[in-house]
Every structure is written in structure tokens, then in C-alpha cells.
A = this chain, B = another copy of it.
């Protein structure tokens, strides 16, 4: 019989001991019998997603947990976001994450999210922007698309482009929009910076007079009169998971960054109604979709963002609540899938500290349950107990080899 794998990544779920929780972590405090069952019936360990002490991004860590060396493959966030919202990014293209924002007449940022503009308004504005012609740059095309609320992405298509350019986003209110600068002394970097500055100017001109913004001002809403650019990136050239392991992989994730990473490595994206990437996501709908996906796929990445959101907000109670919902998802999976042929792994892509509200470089816990794992003595799933597990301390990119080894998808070296 053919074995399959579910890899469950809870974004930023790992934490440091917190004073308000009696110097325990949210994982230690939460009521999570099914995550504990994973540890008790499986093998546990700890993972350095990137390297000891290095705070991972969700993009770099997800690459690592999918078996890619993040140092080698990472080429910026822009292209991943753009692919994650459905844009086509080809080798040579350069992509940016974008925000609709509000500026005053001096280009000083008043609101980095244009009042978290509604999707319909952003969509109307995007249609306007896409019509702009790059008269000065006949060899370059662009695609601009809005995502949820103020979020959007820009892809530059053409030759002679470079991702070595700075951001126009000043990252805080009260500061002026920045000029994009080349970060290398190359013609491509200079040209790309010039191109983005030109686009920024044309976008601003068009947005100011757009009917959508005229209406917003009437409704006392901040006009989305500028687009901020950041995270210039290209698409990494990697072998797909199919080619490397001969598996059919799928991803269930709401956030565009993880969707982008998954697309780069050749996974099918499964859309789930009600999955939002927020603490209000439909947790159980995602769990059901993951269990269902096993009928068609060998490997399912199941990603939940809300633990990270709670940590970035410094909200311990919410983080514990989300962990308890993740526990119910795991319960559904353990009760539904055939645990004599399916391996389930649970981990976090990084530590997000409730105290610092940032990603931190601490190790994350991992547990793998399934028919033929060498069960260890760990009976609880958290940062401290998993450190005593049979997997010991792994690098992020080792996890996928271990999972693929369990289902016979790694190639023998030697004879």
C-alpha cells in the first residue's frame, strides 16, 4: 500500500516562556490532547528552520520545511506574494509586494493601508492602474493585481530587469514615500529603479483623480492615492517536489506568501471556502480539505496562519485559543485518516514571541506520527518536551527527507 504524508505547519506557533503565563509557553498552557497524542504515539524533536539563532521568515522556513536549502533558493518575497495571488512570474521577471496607501500633498504617508480599503474599491483602482502604458520602456510590460484589502502585487515582465532595488515603502506613517534606489551598480538595477519610480509617479497621478477615490473622499474614507512597493524578488529556479521525490503534492494555505512558495515547488493549491489566514478562518474546513486531499495527493501541506497573527499582536489568550482550535483540527485528522498508511507531522515555521512580537531564531518543536515511526518517550507536544524526543535537533531542510524516507520516496545513495 502506498503511504502518504500530511505536513501541518502552524505559523509562528512556537514561543518563549512568557511571564503572564507563569513562565510557560502558549503550547504548554493550551489544552491540546490531540497534539499530545501526536507526540505520545510518534517521534518528536526540535528544528532549526534556518540555522541556530536565525529568525526565519515564513517564506524561507517553508522552503526549508519542504526540503529546500533556503540559503540557496531564496530570491526575495515579491515574486512569492505575486504567485500566491495568482500572478504569473517567469524567470527574469521582477515582482513587488504592494500596498494601497494614503498620502498628503507632500507624499507623506497618512495611512499605510488606505483605511484597510475594501476589496471592491481596490479592484476598481487596479483596473485603472493596469491600463497605464509604459511609454518610456517599450521592452517592459507590467501586471498589477490587488489581493485582500490594501494588499497587491506588481510584476515587471521583460529583459534587463533586476531585483536589486530598494523599497518605496517607508514602513511607517508620517514619513515620505521613498525613491526606489538601485542596490547594485548594474545597468539592470538602475533601469529597474527608474522604471518603478516612473510607475509610482504614473500610479499616483491616475489614483488621485480616479472615480473610486473621489467617492471614498465623499464617504469620509482615506483615498488610496498611492501604491507603495517593497520586497523586490525573482522566482527561484528549483526542481519540483514531483521531480525530486516522485510525489503528487498539494497545499492548503490562505496566505499568499505560503501559496507562492508552494507554487514555486510545484504544489497544486487547494482553495478552501472560509479559509482566510486570520484567527477567524474556518479551521475545520481546512482540516476536512486536507483529509479529503489524500485521495488525490501523496503529500499535503496544511498551513494555519492565525498563531502568528496572535503573537504579532502580543495576544496570549488568542494564541492559546488558536492552538486549541489547531488541536481540534489535528483530532479530526487523527480520527479520519488511515493511520496505518498515513504519516502526519506537526511543526511551526518559526517562533513568534508574544513578548517581542517578532519572529525569533529559537528552535521549533516537531512530532511525526504514523505506522512505522520509532516511537519515543515524549507524551506532550511543546517546545520543552519535544527537545527530549527521538529525532533530536534537525535542520529545517532535513524534515522533508525524513518524511519522504518514511514513505519510501528518497533514493538510495550507493548500493
Question: With A356-B408, A361-B402 given, is the CB distance from A413 to B375 under 8 Å?
Answer: no
Q: Interface 1/0s, chain A 41-83, versus B by CB < 8 A?
A: 0000010001111111111110000000011001001000000
A-B contact pairs, 24 of them (CB 8 A): A16-B372, A16-B374, A51-B401, A53-B401, A53-B402, A53-B404, A53-B410, A54-B401, A54-B405, A54-B410, A54-B412, A55-B411, A55-B412, A60-B414, A74-B413, A74-B414, A77-B414, A355-B372, A360-B405, A361-B402, A361-B405, A361-B410, A387-B390, A392-B392
Q: How far is the CB of A387 from chain B (nearest CB, A)?
A: 4
Q: Do A231 and B405 have beta carbons less than 8 Å apart?
A: no
Q: How far is the CB of A135 from chain B (nearest CB, A)?
A: 33
Q: Do A383 and B374 have beta carbons less than 8 Å apart?
A: yes
A403 in the interface, Cβ–Cβ < 8 Å? yes
A259 in the interface, Cβ–Cβ < 8 Å? no
* Cα separation A51 to B404 with both chains bound (whole Å): 13
**Residue of chain B at shortest CB distance from A62:** B414
Q: Do A387 and B374 have beta carbons less than 8 Å apart?
A: yes
How many copies altogether?
2
10 A-B pairs with the lowest CB-CB distances in the bound complex, closest first: A57-B414, A53-B401, A60-B414, A53-B405, A361-B405, A392-B393, A52-B398, A16-B372, A387-B390, A55-B412
Chain B residues near A384 (CB-CB < 8 A)? 374-376, 390
A415 in the interface, Cβ–Cβ < 8 Å? yes
Chain B residues near A52 (CB-CB < 8 A)? 394, 398, 401-402, 405
Chain A interface residues (CB < 8 Å from chain B): 16-17, 23, 25, 46, 50-61, 70-71, 74, 77, 231, 257, 353, 355-356, 358-362, 372-377, 383-384, 387-388, 390-394, 398, 400-406, 408, 410-415
Chain B residues near A411 (CB-CB < 8 A)? 54-55
Q: How far is the CB of A134 from chain B (nearest CB, A)?
A: 27
* Cα separation A380 to B390 with both chains bound (whole Å): 15
Q: How far is the CB of A252 from chain B (nearest CB, A)?
A: 21
Chain B residues near A401 (CB-CB < 8 A)? 51-54, 361
**Residue of chain B at shortest CB distance from A18:** B372
* Cα separation A372 to B351 with both chains bound (whole Å): 12
**Residue of chain B at shortest CB distance from A23:** B375
Q: How far is the CB of A375 from chain B (nearest CB, A)?
A: 7
Q: Do B414 and A59 have beta carbons less than 8 Å apart?
A: yes
* Cα separation A359 to B10 with both chains bound (whole Å): 33
**Residue of chain B at shortest CB distance from A355:** B372
Chain B residues near A360 (CB-CB < 8 A)? 405, 408
Chain B residues near A387 (CB-CB < 8 A)? 374, 376, 390, 392
Chain B residues near A355 (CB-CB < 8 A)? 372
Q: How far is the CB of A372 from chain B (nearest CB, A)?
A: 4
Q: Do B414 and A375 have beta carbons less than 8 Å apart?
A: no
Q: Do A50 and B404 have beta carbons less than 8 Å apart?
A: no
Q: How far is the CB of A382 from chain B (nearest CB, A)?
A: 9
Question: With A53-B403, A398-B53 given, is the CB distance from A58 to B376 under 8 Å?
Answer: no
**Residue of chain B at shortest CB distance from A46:** B392
Interface centre among A56, A58, A257, A372 (most CB of B within 10 A): A372
**Residue of chain B at shortest CB distance from A412:** B55
Q: Do B410 and A17 have beta carbons less than 8 Å apart?
A: no
Q: How far is the CB of A43 from chain B (nearest CB, A)?
A: 8
* Cα separation A375 to B362 with both chains bound (whole Å): 13
